[in-house]
């Protein structure tokens, strides 16, 4: 299997597992369940669960054991997108090329769908079958996901982001915002995959964390580049929307060329971090490349 096929396979695996985990739309409260399924089962890239699978498999963990953490990170991501699109936040009508959840349903249903997806993420970790994973590791997964999602992680980053609209940020402030808003969940995606392996000692965890930090930031720099030069139809949201909202971005602070150089530097550092993993980490290397070259 080449890397594209491998990643397609991971995507299909998490989509199957999510479909199974989400309550059926035929079960009451139907509209809420429909909204949850609508938000999760659309056309996502599934980068976070793919990172979980690729990290776990690089450490020899069988694929099916990675389903619960892979679902958990994607559910947190899906909830964050629903809430991010709400009128009180970014007020967006379009996500993944379709109406946002509150547009397709209504605002109250969208808020509740996000809340319920967050709860389901933690249920996936608490209840999911994790043969060979000890109770301490399972608890560590819960703790890492909670930290990455909460006020010291993604939600904190979102607060910094909302605070920054219309204000000039320094490069350090911009980076700090992204490290929390997007980086924390990407780091958790890698960490949860590694926690499924009894092999992963502290040193290896450190190296993987370095990889995840670089990939997380590179992901955001690429996002800012796409906002300038991407194609609305491909990126699934209006091109230029960050600029229009007067949001600080890497491209506004560094210029397009500077942002590209930053992306390349982060890519090289990500690859260096994987050295101790040898050939087993090829998919993680491919993913780092994919993230800095992606068109959507
Ligand atoms: C695009 O991901 C999304 C991001 C870069 C995430 C930004 C972070 C937030 C919106 C946090 C918001 C938090 C709260 C609590 C409201 P992607 O390109 O992987 O999207 P895809 O899944 O559609 O491919
Ligand atoms: Mg947004």
Q: What is the mean pLDDT of residues 92-98?
A: 92
Q: Is the minimum distance from the CB of 83 to ligand 1 under 6 angstroms?
A: yes
**How many structural domains comprise the chain?**
1
Q: Is the minimum distance from the CB of 11 to ligand 1 under 6 angstroms?
A: no
Phi-psi region of 108 (alpha: psi -120 to 50; beta: other; left: phi over 0): alpha
Per-residue pLDDT, 165 = 81
Per-residue pLDDT, 1 = 85
Is the confidence at residue 84, as pLDDT, over 80? yes
Q: Is the minimum distance from the CB of 45 to ligand 1 under 6 angstroms?
A: yes
Residue 29: asked if its preceding bond is cis (omega within 30°), the reply is: yes
Q: pLDDT tens digit string along 244-260?
A: 677 789 999 999 999 99
Answer yes or no: pTM beyond 0.85.
yes
Q: pLDDT tens digit string along 120-165?
A: 999 999 999 999 999 999 999 999 999 999 999 999 999 999 998 8
Q: Is 134 exposed, middle or buried (0-12, 13-18, 19+ CB in 10 A)?
A: exposed
| Comparison of pLDDT for 208 and 167, the residue scoring more | 208
Range of the domain at 154: 3-293
Per-residue pLDDT, 69 = 98
Q: How far apart are the first and last CA of the chain?
A: 24
In the numeric block, which tokens belong to residue 210? 């370095």
Percent of the chain with pLDDT strictly greater than 70: 99
CATH number, domain containing residue 182: 1.10.600.10
Span from the CA of 185 to the centroid of ligand 1 (angstroms)? 10
Torsion 14-17-23-26 (CA) sign: positive
Q: Is the minimum distance from the CB of 80 to ligand 1 under 6 angstroms?
A: yes
Is the confidence at residue 2, as pLDDT, over 80? yes
Q: What is the mean pLDDT of residues 55-76?
A: 97
Tell me the C-alpha to C-alpha distance, in Å, between residue 262 and each of 212, 266, 271.
Answer: 16, 6, 14
In the numeric block, which tokens belong to residue 230? 């991407």
């Amino acid at each position: 299997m080449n890397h594209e096929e491998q990643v397609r396979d991971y995507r299909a695996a998490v989509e199957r597992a999510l479909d199974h985990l989400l309550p059926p739309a035929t079960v009451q409260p139907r509209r809420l369940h429909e909204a949850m399924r609508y938000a999760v089962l659309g056309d996502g890239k599934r980068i976070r669960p793919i990172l979980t699978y690729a990290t776990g498999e690089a450490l020899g963990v069988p694929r099916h054991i990675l389903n619960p953490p892979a679902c958990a990170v994607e559910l947190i991501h899906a909830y964050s997108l629903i809430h991010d699109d709400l009128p009180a936040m970014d007020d967006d009508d379009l996500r993944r090329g379709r109406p946002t959840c509150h547009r397709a349903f209504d605002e109250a249903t969208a808020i509740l769908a996000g809340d319920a997806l967050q709860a389901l993420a933690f249920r996936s970790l608490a209840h999911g079958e994790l043969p060979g994973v000890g109770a301490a590791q399972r608890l560590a997964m819960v703790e890492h996901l909670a930290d990455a999602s909460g006020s010291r992680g993604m939600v904190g980053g979102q607060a910094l982001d909302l605070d920054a609209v219309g204000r000039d940020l320094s490069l350090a402030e911009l980076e700090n915002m992204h490290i929390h808003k997007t980086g924390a969940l990407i780091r958790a995606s890698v960490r949860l995959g590694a926690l499924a392996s009894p092999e992963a000692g502290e040193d290896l965890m450190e190296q993987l964390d370095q990889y995840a930090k670089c990939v997380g930031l590179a992901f955001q720099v690429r996002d800012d580049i796409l906002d300038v030069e991407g194609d609305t139809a491909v990126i699934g949201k209006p091109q230029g929307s960050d600029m229009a909202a007067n949001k600080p971005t890497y491209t506004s602070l560094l210029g397009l060329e500077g942002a590209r150089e930053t992306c390349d530097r982060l890519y090289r550092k990500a690859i260096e971090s994987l050295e101790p993993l040898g050939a087993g980490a090829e998919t993680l290397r491919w993913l780092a490349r994919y993230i800095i070259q992606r068109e959507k």
